[in-house]
A and B are shown apart, each in its own frame.
Chain A
Amino acid sequence: MSTLAAVSVDVPFTLPIVDYNAIAPLLILLGAGVISVLVEALLPRGSRRFIQLFIVFGALVASLVWIFTITGIRVVTAEGAIAIDGPALVMQGSILVLAILGALLMAERSVDPSGDVFAARASALPGSEDEKQFTARGYLQTEVWPLFLFAVSGMVLFVSANDLLLMFVSLEVMSLPLYLLAGMARRRRLLSQEAALKYFLLGAFSSAFFIYGVALVYGYAASTQLPQIASVLTAKPGQTSLALIGMALILVGLLFKVAAVPFHQWTPDVYQGAPTAVTGFMAATVKIAAFGALMRVLYVAFGGMRWDWVPMMWIIAGLTMLVGSVIAISQSDIKRMLAYSSIAQAGFILVGVIAASPAGLAGALFYLIAYGFTTIGAFAVISIVRDESGEATNLSKWAGLGRKSPLVGGVFALFMLGLAGIPLTSGFIGKFSVFAAALASGDTWLVIVAVVASLIAAFFYVRVIVVMFFTEPGPQTASVVVPSVFTTIALAAGATVTLVLGILPQPVLELVSNAGLFIR
């Protein structure tokens, strides 16, 4: 007792300075997540859904509104652990908007005849008597909502983490719920559980890389704060091998999350196995969060070592674009195809990251936003194209879909053209922005690789249109289920943004370029 007292006298405890106003969006989400857990634990099953939806949408909207009120804030707070700056706010805002669309997809209960798209009880073994019982009783779970809220909180923190340790924590807060969500599909349980396990194991592996890298960088800089690392790097320009190895390991962890080659192996399985609503949500938002953290680490902490990481990122970006595009061609499952497409798109965004200029940052941000809306819309379409066994994800079942349901086929074609980067869609402006930034930074060859990869990618996007519109519908052709207002809103928002950002991108371009740079 006495020693304890002595310590507290010797080292007076000072309260950390926290700008609560700046981190309120995060706190709202975390608070809502905790309440959501309590709702799940304490309230009767029947009344949970309404309350959970109220909490989820309430928290997302409140958090978003709060961000709109603090758009001018540029502050490093929580003792240097959190940086709320322009890019962070833009990314937080877009994560929240996309999370709202993702939540709309997950809240859908009209497309699957057995209720919703989540397992009646995720813990029951696939094919077991338990599972049959739960399904037969028609149990509908709402346990996805607390998980969802924590995942979103993790993302919102991830893009503003200014300290490698906090970055690691938020990485886990974001990832762990996603691992679980991936395993909760109602149909094709084994595939879903395989996806979850694979995601978890590989994710844990990459986290280990990340934290080992943090340890090595700490060994070099005696700090985990990004600006501190940067200033040590300028102070000690030689002897950077420890920092280099540490940086490489940290990048492995982050590139795993953005699904860059060669750290992409999890993507197709997880995209395919996870419930489609979760895939859409995850594909759109995790990309933003992970790129946010990646850029912050590269620019703020290791900006001084640009010439050390650029060659490596060059190779990774080139490989990511080419491998993603080429392998996507041979896919026959539309979710797997979009998974490889997301890999290829990550490569295009990396082109903007490598430019390491204000234009590159703005281009990457624009690309992330454009990609997020298009992707979530595409997965929304996939979630309503069904046959008697559930979602019809095999491309052969999409044959003639555009003739059977012209509107849905047309919207999906729009998403494909958007991802392919055809002008007058958001994807084109995104490509344009990152290519322009890269050319201005002198990365001519990378742009040429990107152009070739775009062409390869266009092939498989266009092939979907061929399948949908240029083949006759047959008996195997899936049908489009009429969804409730939830999915309809998400779908409409995805399509609208894809078009509007293609035709009138100026406001968003201004937003991302006015966001400025990461603060130190």
Chain B
Amino acid sequence: MTPWLTILAVVPLLGSVIVVLLPKSRPVLAKQLALAISLVTLVLTVLMALQFNGASSDPFQFVESYPWIPAFGISYSVGVDGIGLVLIALAATLVPIVVIAGWRDVDATSGGSVKGYFALILALESMMIWVFAATDVFMFYVFFEVMLIPVYFMIGRYGGPQRSYAAVKFLLYSLLGGLFMLAAMIGLYVVSAQMTGQGTFDYLTLVGLEMDPTTERILFLGFFLAFAIKAPLWPFHTWLPDAASAAKPGTAVLLIGVLDKVGTFGMIRYCLPIFPAASEFYAPVVIGMALVGIFYGAYVALNQNDMKRLFAYSSMSHFGFIALGIFVFTTVAQSGSMVYMVAHGLSTAALFLTAGFLMQRANGSSLIFDFGGVNKAAPVLAGFFMFAALSSLALPGLVSFVGEFMVLLGTFQRYLFVGGVATLGIVITAAYVLRLYQKTMTGPLAVKLVGMPDLGAREVIALMPVVVLTLVLGLFPAPILNVINPAVDRVMTTIAAKDPGPTVSSEGSGR
């Protein structure tokens, strides 16, 4: 059997090493090589995805497992279910896009070395694949933490004026969560040793563990804190706006589009199945946090003058939806959350990259009032921006609508009130997104922008795949849903949650 996942992760890692070893005088070669490697990875991902059997009853496919540190029951184990597969595909898709879009982001004048930036992107891709593929909790943790290092350097070395502060804040905040997760993970190991006689980190073994309720709740908190910081949920979000506004657009896409998904992925992959009772116990709290996040993020976004910060707060609001979908425990909502994760990755990419192209044309300013009337000078750019904005507010026909609709539908099934409140969040989202478009794209052309060029071929090429995917998956979401649904069903079975029956049956079904 081909070790697909290992190959997938190793290719970019090797690529990153090769890119680093290139001579400093060949920056273009470094970029070309990075692009080639990321495309190879994408092709490999597609080839693997085609062999994925959606109807299989195995919890994981493409499974590999070798002992790694037997002394602690740790193994190198990888495998994917539908959720993991979709997220790996998202990462593999976004990396080449980011490489193309960031082609001119880093040059000799911007301080850092060119090859370094692209090597870091590739290294990050490799870690993202491993983190989504790991089926050993220890291995997941290792990559969950190590992933921070490339991002830390990408922000700290290549970011804007506040980069050093933002990078340190990002790292320390993430480490805070990570260290509590470490303690909880070790606790889980100790519990498994006490209950099975042999400590293990094997995911499937840990899922079946019947823990003492108090222990379970404490351990849940350790894991959840790490994921809530990573995602981030309100009130653990304060690192995100700083990191997003200091980072290069490409870095921000990978950070918010993929990396933050590890948080929500962790909730559905680790928190729910391993700590089912605790998840149920804490669900009201998490739902509350999610609701506050939806509104708080949207409200702050409404009042932001900095585009990058606006996107960060908007993402926070969307993460509220994703977490909500996970913790209402209905199949539709959880599937919706998974779709939403992909959709949010795509819309984040569209938003940040278009905005990045725009900002480049205004000497790097990201302040909304520096712009205006862009649709007159650069209609193509404005068009893509419109698309990105609509994708962010979940226009029907786009994939984000599928996700958001499913989350809300699933929420209504269980909590009518929560669903109703969350729906109001959509209104604010529409308000800030349209306000942003109006202020930057319409009206008289800003003085600074006179003579700005429209998008070039490279920039259009970078954005097109995102647009196409957003549209295609929005109109025809079956490919994603087909692989996600079995995985979500399995989670629902593990946590022994049943979908509530139709509550409006008395008259609603009478048509």
Contact = CB atoms under 8 A, between A and B. Distances in A.
- Do A and B actually bind? yes
A432 B183 contact: no
Contacts of B163: 470
A424 B156 CA distance: 21
Nearest to B147: A423
A439 B187 contact: yes
Nearest to A441: B190
B190 A436 contact: yes
Contacts of A41: none
A459 B176 CA distance: 11
B66 to A, nearest CB: 12
A465 B171 CA distance: 12
Contacts of A439: 183, 186-187, 190
Contacts of A433: 72
A451 B149 contact: no
Given A432-B72, A469-B156, A509-B69, A447 B183 contact: yes
Contacts of A463: 168
Interface string B168-208: 10011001100110110011011001000000000000000
Contacts of A78: none
B142 interface: yes
Interface string B128-152: 0000000000000111011011001
A455 B179 CA distance: 7
B149 A462 contact: no
A510 B71 contact: yes
B172 A455 contact: yes
Contact of B146 (A406, A423, A448, A466): A423
B153 interface: yes
A447 B71 contact: no
A447 B184 CA distance: 10
A431 B163 CA distance: 30
A513 B190 contact: no
A448 B142 CA distance: 19
Contacts of B71: 505-506, 509-510, 513
A452 B225 CA distance: 14
B interface: dominant SS:
helix
A105 to B, nearest CB: 28
A417 interface: yes
B111 A423 contact: no
Interface string B213-225: 0000000000000
Given A440-B190, A472-B111, A510-B71, A435 B172 contact: no
B183 A448 contact: yes
B164 A454 contact: no
B186 A455 contact: no
Nearest to A447: B183
Interface in A468-520: 469-472, 505-506, 509-510, 513
A426 to B, nearest CB: 12
A436 B145 contact: no
Nearest to B143: A423
Interface in B391-414: none
Given A423-B141, A466-B167, A458 B186 contact: no
B149 A417 contact: yes
Given A454-B179, A462-B172, A435 B186 contact: yes
A422 interface: yes
A465 B70 CA distance: 33
A510 B167 CA distance: 38
Q: Which of B72, B145, B164, B179 has the most CB of A within 10 A?
A: B179
Tell me what chain A mostly uses at the interface: helix, strand, loop, or mixed. helix
Interface string B38-81: 00000000000000000000000000000011111000000000
Given A423-B146, A448-B183, A451-B183, A440 B193 contact: yes
A432 B193 CA distance: 15
B335 to A, nearest CB: 32
A422 B143 CA distance: 10
Nearest to B189: A436
Nearest to A417: B149
Nearest to B148: A422
B361 interface: no
Contacts of A452: 179
A469 B309 CA distance: 25
Interface in A406-464: 406, 417, 422-424, 428-429, 431-433, 435-436, 439-440, 444, 447-448, 451-452, 454-455, 458-459, 462-463
Nearest to A472: B111
A422 B145 contact: yes
A423 B164 contact: no
A483 to B, nearest CB: 23
A422 B153 contact: no
A266 to B, nearest CB: 30
A455 B168 contact: no
Contact of B142 (A406, A423, A465): A423
B186 A432 contact: yes
Contacts of B190: 436, 439-440
Nearest to B112: A403
A469 B153 contact: yes
A289 B142 CA distance: 31
Given A462-B168, A513-B71, A469 B183 contact: no
Nearest to A425: B146
Given A436-B72, A436-B190, A469-B157, A424 B168 contact: no
Contacts of B189: 436
Contacts of B179: 451-452, 454-455
B175 A470 contact: no
A447 B186 CA distance: 10
B229 to A, nearest CB: 12
B444 to A, nearest CB: 39
B164 A466 contact: yes
Given A423-B142, A452-B179, 11 more contacts: A422-B146, A423-B143, A424-B142, A424-B146, A432-B72, A440-B190, A447-B183, A447-B186, A470-B167, A505-B69, A506-B69
Interface of B: 68-72, 111-113, 141-143, 145-146, 148-149, 152-153, 156-157, 163-164, 167-168, 171-172, 175-176, 179-180, 182-183, 186-187, 189-190, 193
9 contacts: A422-B148, A422-B149, A423-B143, A451-B179, A462-B152, A505-B71, A506-B71, A509-B69, A510-B71
Counting from the closest, the 4 A-B pairs by CB-CB distance are A423-B142, A509-B71, A470-B156, A470-B164
